[in-house]
Amino acid sequence: MRILLFLGTNLAIILLASLTFRLLGFESILYNNGVDLNLNALLVFCALFGFGGSFISLLLSKKIAKWSTRAQVIEQPRNQSERWLLDTVARLADKAGIGMPEVAVFPAAEPNAFATGASRNAALVAVSAGLLENMNADEVEAVLGHEIGHVANGDMVTLALIQGVVNTFVMFLARVIGFFVDRVVLKNERGLGIGYWITTIVAEIVLAIGATAIVAWFSRRREFRADAAGAHLAGKAKMISALERLKRAQDVPSAMPESLVAFAISSGMRQGLRAMFSTHPPLEDRINALRNAP
Residues identified as active-site? 147
The 3-class SS string of 46-77 reads: HHHHHHHHHHHHHHHHHHHHHHHHCCEECCCC
Please check whether residue 66 is in contact with residue 73, taking contact to mean a CB–CB distance below 8 angstroms: yes
Plot region of 117 (φ>0 → left; ψ -120 to 50 → alpha; else → beta): left
Q: How far apart are CA 55 and CA 78, in angstroms?
A: 35
CA atoms within 13 Å, Cβ hemisphere of 47: 8
Q: Where are the beta strands (DSSP E) in the chain?
A: 72-73, 102-106, 113-116, 124-128
DSSP letters along 142-168, please?
HHHHHHHHHHHTTHHHHHHHHHHHHHH
Give helix 3-24 / helix 194-234 axis angle, nearest 10°: 160
CA-CA distance, 76 to 219, in Å (whole number)? 33
20 phi/psi in degrees, rounded to 5: -60, -45
Q: Dihedral angle at the C-alpha atoms of 79, 81, 85, 91, nearest 10 degrees?
A: 90
